[in-house]
Amino acid sequence: MLITIPDVLGPQQLADCRARLEAADWVDGNVTSGHQSARAKNNQQIPEESAVAREVGGAIMEALSRHPVFMSAALPQHVFPPLFNRYGAGHRFGAHVDNSIRQHRQSGARIRTDLSATLFFAGPDEYDGGELVIEDNFGTQRVKLPAGHLVLYPASSLHHVTEVTRGRRMGAFFWIQSMIRDDGQRRILWGMDQSIQALTQAVPDHPALISLTGSYHNLLRRWADV
């Protein structure tokens, strides 16, 4: 399941966060790479322990906690604190699959990476290339979103970032351990929740809403890993 989520950050918050990121100290992106990724990766990152990374990451986490689409689609149990990368001309990230377990350097906490997420800080008109290409059972998707928008997709997907040929691509990336480990089960729950929301808007007093909502929660109760 691949979902794009618009306007995670509003215009002013996006501008404030971007200004902080632009002024931060950037290092070689392989500081967070596993063995496989290090062979394919050519970009820059802000170190995890950076105050800017913690502050902007905290703002993203707070925004996500209030975003109904993210909460419904991800059903998050744990979210790895956002990291930040940028790609200038000639930078790229070859095909890879994200590590199944991530460990936070400061806290030592580990999460299972069920979902990967990228939040775009640069708009598509600011750079050429730099598409996030994701391959999974939903086919191959090429993703290049407006600034402030987020893409959510299975962490098990093969994916890469195409070479940037003009300008600079900047974004946040992070992982989610979902209460629902299985992507197929998450897809069913997402579809049911979307139907419940649509029926609530169209026919709020329809008696089937109670039954459908009950079925949703019974499936969540059956499948949740908490």
Binding residue per annotation — 160? no
The two structure tokens encoding residue 149:
């928008």
Binding residue per annotation — 206? no
Residue among 167, 125, 165, 124 nearest 4 (CA): 124
3-state helix, strand, coil in the chain (%, to 5): 35, 30, 35
Q: 168 CB contacts (<8 Å, ≥6 apart)? A: 86, 87, 88, 89, 122, 126, 127
The two structure tokens encoding residue 209:
């809403």
Binding residue per annotation — 98? yes
* Helix (H) / strand (E) containing 178: strand 169-178
Binding residue per annotation — 35? no
CA distances from 70 to 4, 14, 28, 30, 204 (A): 9, 18, 30, 28, 23
Supply φ then ψ for residue 142, to 5 degrees. Answer: -105, 120
Angle between helix axes 11-22 and 51-65 (nearest 10 degrees) is 160
Q: Which residues are annotated as a binding site for Fe cation?
A: 96, 98, 159
Q: Which residues are annotated as a binding site?
A: 96, 98, 159, 169
Q: Which residues are annotated as a binding site for 2-oxoglutarate?
A: 169
